[in-house]
Amino acid sequence: MSLKITDECINCDVCEPVCPNQAIYQGEEIYEIDPGLCTECVGHFDKPQCQTVCPVACIPLDPAHAETQEQLLAKYRRLTAAEKDTA
Protein backbone atom coordinates (compact mmCIF):
# COMPACT_ATOMS: atom_id res chain seq x y z
CA MET A 1 0.00 0.00 0.00
CA SER A 2 0.94 3.55 -0.40
CA LEU A 3 1.03 5.65 2.72
CA LYS A 4 -1.02 8.76 3.40
CA ILE A 5 -0.70 11.74 5.70
CA THR A 6 -3.71 12.48 7.88
CA ASP A 7 -5.12 15.75 9.18
CA GLU A 8 -3.11 15.29 12.38
CA CYS A 9 -0.04 16.48 10.42
CA ILE A 10 1.61 19.46 12.13
CA ASN A 11 3.70 20.47 9.08
CA CYS A 12 6.93 19.90 10.95
CA ASP A 13 8.83 19.39 7.66
CA VAL A 14 10.72 16.24 8.71
CA CYS A 15 9.04 13.72 6.38
CA GLU A 16 9.62 15.36 3.00
CA PRO A 17 13.43 15.29 2.95
CA VAL A 18 13.70 11.65 4.09
CA CYS A 19 11.51 10.28 1.28
CA PRO A 20 13.81 8.52 -1.22
CA ASN A 21 11.20 8.74 -4.00
CA GLN A 22 10.24 12.41 -3.55
CA ALA A 23 6.66 11.20 -3.02
CA ILE A 24 5.97 13.70 -0.22
CA TYR A 25 5.09 17.29 -1.04
CA GLN A 26 3.49 20.30 0.62
CA GLY A 27 -0.24 20.31 -0.11
CA GLU A 28 -2.62 23.19 0.42
CA GLU A 29 -2.82 22.66 4.18
CA ILE A 30 -0.63 19.70 5.11
CA TYR A 31 1.96 17.47 3.52
CA GLU A 32 0.64 14.88 1.09
CA ILE A 33 1.96 11.67 -0.48
CA ASP A 34 1.79 10.86 -4.19
CA PRO A 35 0.67 7.19 -4.26
CA GLY A 36 2.26 6.80 -7.69
CA LEU A 37 5.68 7.46 -6.16
CA CYS A 38 5.31 5.93 -2.68
CA THR A 39 6.88 2.49 -2.28
CA GLU A 40 6.79 2.49 1.54
CA CYS A 41 10.58 2.71 1.10
CA VAL A 42 10.64 -0.84 -0.34
CA GLY A 43 13.94 -1.15 -2.19
CA HIS A 44 15.52 1.64 -0.16
CA PHE A 45 14.97 0.91 3.55
CA ASP A 46 13.44 -1.75 5.81
CA LYS A 47 10.87 0.71 7.21
CA PRO A 48 9.10 3.73 5.75
CA GLN A 49 11.34 6.64 6.68
CA CYS A 50 8.50 9.15 6.94
CA GLN A 51 6.80 7.01 9.58
CA THR A 52 10.09 6.67 11.43
CA VAL A 53 10.66 10.42 11.75
CA CYS A 54 7.06 11.61 12.17
CA PRO A 55 6.62 13.01 15.70
CA VAL A 56 2.80 12.68 15.69
CA ALA A 57 2.37 9.29 13.94
CA CYS A 58 0.06 10.66 11.25
CA ILE A 59 1.27 8.49 8.34
CA PRO A 60 -0.75 5.25 8.14
CA LEU A 61 -1.23 2.86 5.24
CA ASP A 62 -3.66 4.15 2.63
CA PRO A 63 -6.34 1.47 2.09
CA ALA A 64 -7.39 3.26 -1.11
CA HIS A 65 -4.02 2.31 -2.64
CA ALA A 66 -3.48 -1.32 -1.65
CA GLU A 67 -0.32 -2.91 -3.07
CA THR A 68 1.55 -6.12 -2.31
CA GLN A 69 5.25 -6.19 -1.49
CA GLU A 70 5.85 -7.48 -5.01
CA GLN A 71 3.95 -4.54 -6.52
CA LEU A 72 5.87 -2.08 -4.35
CA LEU A 73 9.17 -3.65 -5.43
CA ALA A 74 8.11 -3.45 -9.09
CA LYS A 75 7.22 0.24 -8.60
CA TYR A 76 10.62 0.82 -6.96
CA ARG A 77 12.34 -0.81 -9.95
CA ARG A 78 10.34 1.33 -12.41
CA LEU A 79 11.12 4.51 -10.51
CA THR A 80 14.83 3.81 -10.16
CA ALA A 81 15.08 2.76 -13.82
CA ALA A 82 13.44 6.07 -14.79
CA GLU A 83 15.97 7.95 -12.62
CA LYS A 84 18.86 6.17 -14.36
CA ASP A 85 17.41 7.02 -17.78
CA THR A 86 17.27 10.73 -16.95
CA ALA A 87 20.73 10.85 -15.37
The residues spanned by each domain of the chain are 16-86
Give, for 12, the enclosing helix (H) or strand (E): none
Q: How confident is the model at residue 84 (pLDDT cuts 50, 70, 90)?
A: low
pLDDT digits (tens, 9 = 90+) for 12-51: 999 999 999 999 999 999 999 999 999 999 999 999 999 9
Q: What is the pTM of this model?
A: 0.90
pLDDT digits (tens, 9 = 90+) for 45-82: 999 999 999 999 999 999 999 999 999 999 999 999 97
| In CATH, 16-86 is 3.40.1280.10 | no
What gap in Å lies between CA 48 and CA 2, rounded to an integer? 10
What backbone torsions phi and psi does residue 12 show, to the nearest 5 degrees? -80, -10
